Amino acid sequence: MPANFKAELVACFGQPVAENPTGVMQEAAFSALGLNWRYLTVEVPPAKLRDAVAGARAFGLRGFNCTIPHKVAVMEHLDEIAPDAAVIGAVNTVRREGERLIGENTDGKGFLRGVRVDAGVDPKGRRAVVLGAGGASRAIVTELALAGAAEVLVVNRSRERGERMVADLAAKTGAPIRFEQWQGTYRVPGDVDLLVNATSIGLYPDVDAMPPIDLSAARPGMLVSDAVFNPPETRLLAAARGHGLPVLDGLSMLVYQGVIGFQLWTGQDPPVAVMKEALRKVLLAEGNPQEPIENRLQVTNLPHPDERLAGAG
């Protein structure tokens, strides 16, 4: 067989991007499967995004991630947007099909995969409560709605933001999505099957913060899931455990959105445990636990608030 020294390339375009850990988990998976693929973490300022996408085409990149501030802006440079990414109004993963670049959003899908695989719960026909109405909530609520949840109740502090998101997503999905304003302590009703914290409450460095909720009426078996992944064990999850409830941490969502990206690019199933372990190592910032790792992990795969507003319209 002739030698082949050419690696297949994928990338992440963002600014700032240097501390985005996604490449660590993707490279760990390439290496584990013996794939000659590279994940390039590339600083791309907004004014150069058009050129960067043209470069991706010229270099024959197999795909790329977009992070802050490109998740909405990139959409106009692509050939097609997947239906759920269109509803969410943001793209975090681009895949190539022949010469065509197709925009996907794997954040909410990653959450769903974690719920199904790690927690063993199928959201179809279930009642969900999602705390928060930012980018994470938007992706999660969209995918829960598309997965056939019986009802999704969004509980958010700011009425205007919550109502706007719910009206938009209910209209686009036709699903039963409702809004309730979060005032004081929210008592989780006994008919809820899945509770999701999609706020930033509990995120490093506010690790002692706990969403003001009362779990005393929750039905046994209600799954409590936290989008916050730094730290992975939040006060909310500890409180849920204290009530004997099953829990799902934010690492699950983070890893599975990367797993889905890997599958879209390579057509292969990556070793999930390898990816999770690679990420956990970065998160724990071994040897330097005091380092503000939140800085690097704030660079999530969600759009900047300004982008979201632009995308929500």
Which residues sit at the interface with ligand NDP, rule CB under 6 A? 107, 132-137, 156-158, 161, 198-201, 203, 227-229, 250, 253-254, 257, 300-302, 305
Sign of CA dihedral 147, 81, 228, 303: negative
Smaller CB separation from ligand NDP, 41 or 197: 197
Smaller CB separation from ligand NDP, 56 or 142: 142
Residue type (1 letter), 309: L
In sequence order, which ranges of 18-94 are alpha helices (DSSP H)? 22-33, 49-59, 83-88
Q: How far apart are CA 174 and CA 182, in angstroms?
A: 24
Minimum separation from the CB atom of position 301 to ligand NDP (A): 6
Q: Half-sphere exposure of 289 toward its Cβ, with a 13 Å CA cutoff? A: 1
Q: How far apart are CA 213 and CA 185, in angstroms?
A: 5
Smaller CB separation from ligand NDP, 14 or 96: 14
CB atoms within 10 A of CB 288: 9
Residue with the shortest CB distance to ligand NDP: 134
Q: How far apart are CA 88 and CA 105, in angstroms?
A: 8
Q: Which of 261, 256, 253 is nearest to 234 (CA)?
A: 253
Minimum separation from the CB atom of position 131 to ligand NDP (A): 7
Query: Which two three-digit tokens encode residue 126?
Result: 């279930």
Q: Is 71 a catalytic residue?
A: yes
Minimum separation from the CB atom of position 27 to ligand NDP (A): 18
181 - beta bridge partners? 156
Minimum separation from the CB atom of position 138 to ligand NDP (A): 7
Smaller CB separation from ligand NDP, 142 or 156: 156
Q: How far apart are CA 71 and CA 68, in angstroms?
A: 6
Minimum separation from the CB atom of position 191 to ligand NDP (A): 23
Smaller CB separation from ligand NDP, 173 or 252: 252
Q: How far apart are CA 162 and CA 164, in angstroms?
A: 5
Pick the catalytic residue from 48, 71, 124, 276: 71
Known catalytic residues? 71
